[in-house]
Structure 1
Amino acid sequence: MSVKQTFWHLLDDYSIEVPIIQRDYAQGREGAKEQQIRQSFVQTLHEMVIHTDRSQDLDFVYGSLKKDKLVLLDGQQRLTTLFLLHWYIAAGTGVIEEVKPKLEKFNYETRISSREFIQSLIANSHGLIDAVGKKSLSKRIIDTHWFFSVWQNDPTVQSMLTMLDEIDKVFKSDLEQGVSLWQQLVCNDHPPITFHFLEMQEFALTDELYIKMNARGRPLTEFENFKAWLQSYVDKSDDIVIPDTFWTAMDKEWTDVFWRMRESGEYEVDGLFLTTFKSVAQYNIAGRITLAGSKLAVGDEKIITALHNNTFVSSTEYDVHRCFKDNTLNIIGDLFNLISYLQSPEGKDGLPELAKQCDSIIKGMLRNKGYYEQTRFSALLSFIRQRESGTHWDADELKQLTDWLGVTTRLINNTQSDIVNYVRAVHALHEMCKLIGDGCFIHRLLDTEPNAIPFFNEIQKKEEILKAKLVVEDPSWHPLLRKFEEHEYFYGQVGFLLKGSQDPESGLYCINKFTTLANIAAVLFSHELIETKDFLLQRALLSLGNYLIWSKSNLSFCMKNPGARNDNWRKVFNDEKRCKILLELLGKLKEGNEVQGLKSIIESSNCNHWRQYFIKYPQAITACGRRKIRMYYNSEIYLLNSERMSGWHGDVRTYALYLELQNEKSEKISKLKQVLKPYGSVKKENDYPGVIFSPWQGGTLRVEFIKDDFVITLKSDTGRVIDVEQCPEVEALYSIIDNLKTMEGL
């Protein structure tokens, strides 16, 4: 059982030892973030000591007892700061001689230099604080005869000196109160600063437990300070009512939630706690923003960006933006309790889909921290926000939550994510919460018009409403849809497969046809086949039609990365003309024989179109570094190494000629092949790439494609145009060019 304590009262009962395994004292470390935390913490301590009607609880302190010695397990940082504060006020108000024996009961075992510094500081207190002059307190200490210069190499001593300067800056003017200031600090009736001491003697202090409990002693102590502020904030707020167990649960059950989610080798959970609280604050702010136009107000963007990037946010900013007002902490409690349950064997085994969803959402919010992950987290918060806090989750509600997270995740997956769209999404989620209630969420969704759901991708909204209707009419659709929605590439979007399974006359959807199409599509868009070295999928599609998608001024073969939203296959899925080509391909393939089917379609292709160059020569697609081409006048087709014509690029027809020449075995062309140079890519938009032979007939022979035809020119070293002499080699070159033109239908 924990006991509410003060630092001074704890020294009545025990001597306090910071053991050798503990880390260095860190609250005085240099750095902008640490400085803000330190200033905030000392300011809070000052307010508690000066205002006798105020009190601040600093959370739990854990330790084991060895006779009358308390060996700290967790709480080193806070107790060291309290020691420095007690020493400073005792020395500054003239009571140091009386309290020396008690202060000497606080001891460091981490380094000899740390221990010796504390002992010397207590023994040589006279005149340090009340000295006049411009020197800082730390400088005055360093300049004393008893201070060893080697102590400045001790990180704990350095931090203590920095913290003493901060305490001196904040408390200096109050020392004139004299003994009354000291009495306010150590008051028993209404102590200004308390903590809960939990004696761990009855527990086995394994290394894992020690590291787990001691994680909060690391240099990053922002969460400790945040939590101390939050407790004080709750105490002062009349409109915040939380269960008595809230703070205890944070140190026990909810710490275990994050402990289970930590990454391998990670022994710190405070950062995970803080990230979660910041994500909730970000969600609350986004929900209150009135968005006008396509940009956020400067102040709104600044605070959301700070929370999103997990940079330091002051307690004043949390207060000003009302980040934790009203019912927010109860929503957080419901969230933590839900995740805790879903981590239990009962939750994981009984609700595997929901457990998987929530685990993915929380880990995404903690690790990736993008606006996409934050929006998914906001969907979970939105559901919890609309329910009655603290009530039991019944089976129907958990089923609704599962369906809600599935639908919102797919909507979020297929909508572009940035800071403005994040704010829009939060508002849309609030509006969508109207579909949650006593009835079934899915039943309410199927009766909803797409325009009743704001913001999200229109195509995906229609798809989700359609799938809701199918599942309600025939529940056997549910597992089938879930299976393919979870495909590594589809990202929840299977509407194109539903389109292929719809009977054009009756409008009904055939579950068997959907299954066949989906199984084939799952193979084609698998990691192994979506972009093979010979581009089987791309070339088979080109055999049936032009499926290439526009990406700004370029045409894209489609990127295999689903995150490349401007250039990925979902533009094919969602475009009627291109989707028709894809469905035609799926209809020509047989389940289990997809690869051979693609090869057969490619081998039999004879489309008499520029597409045939890419169908016959997969190397032409390889030459497109980002799988994009640029087309001019419906005839000039350039293979882009990057995105622009100012970068290296080639021409598909002359590149095909180059490949043909490399593979040509005829003796007629052998002399030309001997002087064939590497393919002539160019960087300037006004230059033409082509095939180069040099030296040839006293100059350099180039083959380029300009406007509608191949052009052959011979130039001297000075750039003078020379007439090309006809010979067997040149005739053979023309013959190969004619074959390429015939293949294309020119």
Structure 2
Amino acid sequence: MQKNISFLDMIEKYSICVPKIQRDYAQGREDDKTAEIRESFLEEMIESLISKESMPLVLDFVYGSTDNDNVFTPLDGQQRLTTLFLLHWYLLPADRPQLFKDDTSMPRFTYETRISSKDFCKSLVATSPRIIKDNTAMSVSKRENETTKKEWTLSESIQNEPWFLWSWRKDPTIKGMLVMLDAMDKKLKAIPDKISLWNSLTENRKIVFHILPLEQFNLADELYVKMNARGKELSSFDILKSTFEEQMKKNEVSELLQEEWRTHIDSKWMDLFWNKKAIAYLDSSDSNKNKEIVNAVEMSYLRFLKRMMYFHLFMIDDFENPEALDKDKFVEGIKSVRIYVRDHDIITIIPQLSKCGFFNEAFYSFVIETMEQLLFIEDERVKEGSDFITMPFWKIDNRDVNNLFEMFIDNKITYLGRVLFFAQMQFFKYYGAEALQESEKLRKELNNWMRIIRNLSYNTSYNNEDEFRNTIKALDTLAFFVYAESDTKSILDYFAKDGEVLRFDGEQVTEEREKARQILQDTKWENKIEEAECYAFWQGTIRFLFRTNEHKYDWTLFDDRWSKSKRYFNVDGVSDEYKNNNILLRLLICSFTKWESFWGITYDNKASSWGDILSNKKWILPLNSLFIEDPTTFDYMNFNIFHENQNEQSALVHSDLCKSDLLNCIVDGCFLNYRNNQHALYPYNTRAKWKIYVIGNARNSIFSRLLDQNKIELINGECGKLGNYPYFWGWNLYFKHSDVTYYWGTDDRLQKYNNELQTWATENISLENIEDYFSTDNI
């Protein structure tokens, strides 16, 4: 590697040829994003040239290779080299006309991307900028007598030269160079002492870069694709890199951290994303596909950096300069910013964070230290610590989780996904990935840590930013207690000794403590517990396999319950055998001894519904009965129903759910509700009449008989019968008898419609007399 090389050093030693595989010159594009970067870059260079005290401006690494003819081919850095070439050409003194030509008068800087670009560079270096400026002045002078006067720009002057071909105007590289030259001329033409600028640029070496010659490495063709297939415009990643460096300088981040950041952000760190998202998919024969792959790599990288910013926002209490925050836009200060960062892209959020001093030493340290601990090298590839996690995860948002890092950089992410990745980060904060390469014990500990955190995380809710912040703070504290303060440095030992655990679900924490004690007591339990945790839809919650009615734990229960549970359940919920006629659900309901047990349960066979039942202590007693009685032989019809606070209506509710076929014909997702003085099953917030089923009411059997006897006819659309079962959907039962319209309401009254008056009138008929009433012919 060659450090602090000036462009003059390079051009005097090498010819520079931008190869065909490279994109066109992009820093001269005219879109808003590029214009902003161009202005900032030029101001930074000019400030460095003018200032007598500033340190040299270092433009990071230029990667490339040199052939036997001393021709340097840049693979990354051609944009900066082109801009420096144009700056040197613009400031070139009259006594250095041969600077850009070799001994055969061929240009020492050229583009191979297009023949037109190559010819333009050759013609440009053959012409002094002073001659072009003189020609411009003459052209303007000849037009003094014209009605309209116009001062020509430098680019117009170049295009007016006899050697400039009209067709070159369509070449994007040439167009970009002309735009950049105009931008330079606009900023520099007012400075009279161009010689001082030239001396600062060349003798004083105020703008330099580092060269990394790649021919000394054994690199595959994939590097060319990686560095040069980024599209035709400056990418968001290009812009972001520049912005990060500006913020480091603005916020006076230490030189050591700045150097570390610049060294890694476009090399080692980029290699990780490249290895994760590109290596396996590159196709040397399909350039368009390769460009899409490279774009995917950069987008993944951007998402990673944004989410690291998001984490850091939750680890700090406030900004360094909170007074600079837009109070109208962010009413709740940093709390509002956290939500804004979550919901917007990284390019949009950076200006908001920049105002407040967010990009300070603490932020860059956080990212650098995280990556330093997370990365390792294996088989000459950059990898990350998620590769050491062998224990499984379960789906998040209906997507598989095979690798935490790949999940973290995916397009979509949930609070749960962030929590799991942050948990991994906390482990690697104390044990770097390189240490795990050499230690089976540490790899085992990582998996123990992630297994317990996985179980806690999947079974804890994250409904808002405050709950999320409390969770990652709790993880930070837990990792410190386990790996910094404890003697054993073991997560199992910490839980077995009832170490403090904040924020996570209390019942799940208690379960993890009990399982940790069992594993430490006898290691044969480890595989059994881990197998059960991953079975079906349980997601780490298995306390129902060894919990007694008294809320204690008895591991002698485990084997029998585990064996039966594998028959009862599968990944979708209740298995087909026990879903048939709802025998498992009905057995559970038959075992309810408390009226409160009926409330809050979802009356179906889905995994989500039974996940709540298995984990909630509210249903311990009826749940344990599933492992005592056999659902296939249980006598549901003759079971003696009893529960506390039982009355006639609640007993009928219990009977309807246990002894009838009602559960076979209602929609999934129904809860027991009480409204309009009636008990009814229906999903939360439903407005659909056909999803509402009144139960615990004798009207159901009575009106079913009237229908079967053809005494009444239901009015379609207002209510309906559930097949051959004695139940109805709809709050009120609308029907006709002898061409007269009636309805039986939830107030247990019969209403009769008067066609002449077009009003409803109450009939003084009780439910006990309703059958006799409609058996009379002269109603």
Instruction: Please indicate, yes or no, whether the TM-score normalized by the shorter chain is above 0.5.
Output: yes
Q: 1:598 to 1:533 in 2, by over 3 A?
A: closer
Helix, strand or coil at the partner of 1:631 = strand
Instruction: Find the partner of 2:77 among 75, 78, 82.
Output: 75
Q: 1:112 to 1:415 in 2, by over 3 A?
A: farther
Contact residue 3 and residue 198 of structure 1 kept, 8 A: no
- The residue identity in structure 2 corresponding to 1:408 is I
Contact residue 334 and residue 384 of structure 1 kept, 8 A: yes
Helix, strand or coil at the partner of 2:423 = helix
1:430 aligns with 2:476: yes
Q: 1:81 to 1:225 in 2, by over 3 A?
A: farther
Tell me how far apart the structure 1 counterparts of residues 354 and 707 of structure 2 sit (CA, whole Å): 82
Question: What residue is the counterpart of 1:743 in the other structure?
Answer: none
1:493 aligns with 2:541: yes
Q: Deviations over 1:491-515 (max 9, x none)?
A: 3222333325x89788555442453
Q: Offset of 1:105 from its aligned partner?
A: 4.1
Question: What residue is the counterpart of 1:259 in the other structure?
Answer: 274
Instruction: Find the partner of 1:473 among 509, 521, 525.
Output: 521
Contact residue 28 and residue 180 of structure 2 kept, 8 A: yes
Tell me how far apart the structure 2 counterparts of residues 119 and 717 of structure 1 sit (CA, whole Å): 100
Question: What residue is the counterpart of 1:286 in the other structure?
Answer: 314
Question: What residue is the counterpart of 2:494 in the other structure?
Answer: 445
Contact residue 107 and residue 115 of structure 1 kept, 8 A: yes
Helix, strand or coil at the partner of 1:706 = coil
Question: What residue is the counterpart of 2:390 in the other structure?
Answer: 352
Q: Offset of 1:117 from its aligned partner?
A: 6.4
Q: Offset of 1:439 from its aligned partner?
A: 1.2
Tell me how far apart the structure 2 counterparts of residues 365 and 495 of structure 1 sit (CA, whole Å): 30
Instruction: Find the partner of 1:421 among 467, 481, 491.
Output: 467
Tell me how far apart the structure 1 counterparts of residues 385 and 618 of structure 2 sit (CA, whole Å): 49
Question: What residue is the counterpart of 2:625 in the other structure?
Answer: 584
Q: How many residue pairs get matched?
A: 692
Q: 1:526 to 1:693 in 2, by over 3 A?
A: closer
Q: 1:178 to 1:279 in 2, by over 3 A?
A: same
Q: Deviations over 1:160-213 (max 9, x none)?
A: 5665666567x44884441222332344x645231324344985754x443234
Question: What residue is the counterpart of 1:565 in the other structure?
Answer: none
Percent of counterpart pairs with the same letter? 20
Q: Offset of 1:62 from its aligned partner?
A: 3.0
Instruction: Find the partner of 2:341 among 290, 298, 306.
Output: 306
1:210 aligns with 2:224: yes
Helix, strand or coil at the partner of 1:383 = helix
Q: Offset of 1:362 from its aligned partner?
A: 0.9
With structure 1 as the length reference, what TM-score do the two structures score?
0.73
Q: Offset of 1:429 from its aligned partner?
A: 1.9
Q: 1:507 to 1:495 in 2, by over 3 A?
A: closer
Contact residue 590 and residue 639 of structure 2 kept, 8 A: yes
Contact residue 574 and residue 605 of structure 2 kept, 8 A: no
Contact residue 339 and residue 358 of structure 1 kept, 8 A: no
Contact residue 581 and residue 661 of structure 2 kept, 8 A: no
Tell me how far apart the structure 2 counterparts of residues 425 and 635 of structure 1 sit (CA, whole Å): 42
Q: Offset of 1:664 from its aligned partner?
A: 9.8
Q: Deviations over 1:622-666 (max 9, x none)?
A: 2x6x645643156242635x7254x66653149999999999999
Q: Deviations over 1:406-459 (max 9, x none)?
A: 222322222223432232223212221212145142354235546x32222222
Question: What residue is the counterpart of 2:300 in the other structure?
Answer: 272
- The residue identity in structure 2 corresponding to 1:677 is N
Q: Deviations over 1:323-356 (max 9, x none)?
A: 44557524421211289999889996x8734999
Question: What residue is the counterpart of 1:329 in the other structure?
Answer: 368
Q: 1:340 to 1:223 in 2, by over 3 A?
A: farther
Question: What residue is the counterpart of 1:380 in the other structure?
Answer: 424
Q: Structure 1 stretch 542-551 or stretch 428-437: which is displaced more?
A: 542-551
Helix, strand or coil at the partner of 2:346 = coil
- The residue identity in structure 2 corresponding to 1:259 is W
- The residue identity in structure 1 corresponding to 2:622 is I
Q: 1:45 to 1:82 in 2, by over 3 A?
A: same
Instruction: Find the partner of 1:572 among 596, 613, 636.
Output: 613
Question: What residue is the counterpart of 2:11 in the other structure?
Answer: 11
Helix, strand or coil at the partner of 2:63 = strand
Helix, strand or coil at the partner of 2:518 = helix
Contact residue 281 and residue 307 of structure 1 kept, 8 A: no
Q: 1:528 to 1:701 in 2, by over 3 A?
A: same
Across the aligned residues of Structure 1 and Structure 2, the Cα RMSD in angstroms comes to: 5.5
Tell me how far apart the structure 2 counterparts of residues 145 and 478 of structure 1 sit (CA, whole Å): 82
Unaligned runs of 5+ in 2: 141-148, 282-288, 320-329, 395-399, 642-650, 721-728
Helix, strand or coil at the partner of 2:481 = helix
Question: What residue is the counterpart of 1:519 in the other structure?
Answer: 566
Q: 1:257 to 1:524 in 2, by over 3 A?
A: closer
Contact residue 456 and residue 504 of structure 2 kept, 8 A: yes
Tell me how far apart the structure 1 counterparts of residues 384 and 305 of structure 2 sit (CA, whole Å): 26
Q: Offset of 1:50 from its aligned partner?
A: 4.4
Contact residue 253 and residue 360 of structure 2 kept, 8 A: no
With structure 2 as the length reference, what TM-score do the two structures score?
0.70
Q: 1:234 to 1:585 in 2, by over 3 A?
A: same
Tell me how far apart the structure 2 counterparts of residues 734 and 141 of structure 1 sit (CA, whole Å): 103
Q: Offset of 1:5 from its aligned partner?
A: 4.4
Q: 1:516 to 1:610 in 2, by over 3 A?
A: same
Q: 1:40 to 1:733 in 2, by over 3 A?
A: farther
Question: What residue is the counterpart of 2:645 in the other structure?
Answer: none
Contact residue 599 and residue 671 of structure 2 kept, 8 A: no
- The residue identity in structure 2 corresponding to 1:374 is R
Q: Deviations over 1:19-64 (max 9, x none)?
A: 4443344445566665655555455445544455233242342357
Question: What residue is the counterpart of 1:179 in the other structure?
Answer: 195
Q: 1:506 to 1:583 in 2, by over 3 A?
A: closer
Q: Offset of 1:468 from its aligned partner?
A: 1.4
Q: Offset of 1:9 from its aligned partner?
A: 3.6
- The residue identity in structure 2 corresponding to 1:523 is N
Tell me how far apart the structure 2 counterparts of residues 220 and 251 of structure 1 sit (CA, whole Å): 15
Q: Give runs of aligned pairs for residues 68-107 of structure 1, distance below 5 A.
A: 69-87=71-89, 89-90=90-91, 101=101, 104-107=107-110
Q: 1:321 to 1:351 in 2, by over 3 A?
A: closer
Q: Structure 1 stretch 242-251 or stretch 713-722: which is displaced more?
A: 242-251
Helix, strand or coil at the partner of 2:375 = helix
Q: 1:733 to 1:136 in 2, by over 3 A?
A: farther
Q: 1:638 to 1:355 in 2, by over 3 A?
A: closer
- The residue identity in structure 2 corresponding to 1:616 is D
Tell me how far apart the structure 2 counterparts of residues 69 and 535 of structure 1 sit (CA, whole Å): 79
Q: 1:559 to 1:445 in 2, by over 3 A?
A: farther
Q: Give runs of aligned pairs for residues 106-121 of structure 1, distance below 5 A.
A: 106-111=109-114
Q: Deviations over 1:452-507 (max 9, x none)?
A: 3222222222222222111111212222222232346333222333325x897885
Contact residue 129 and residue 137 of structure 1 kept, 8 A: no
Contact residue 638 and residue 651 of structure 1 kept, 8 A: yes
Q: 1:493 to 1:612 in 2, by over 3 A?
A: same
Q: Offset of 1:109 from its aligned partner?
A: 4.2
Q: 1:621 to 1:387 in 2, by over 3 A?
A: same
Question: What residue is the counterpart of 1:643 in the other structure?
Answer: 685
Question: What residue is the counterpart of 2:723 in the other structure?
Answer: none
Question: What residue is the counterpart of 2:647 in the other structure?
Answer: none
Q: Structure 1 stretch 333-342 or stretch 191-200: which is displaced more?
A: 333-342
1:719 aligns with 2:766: no
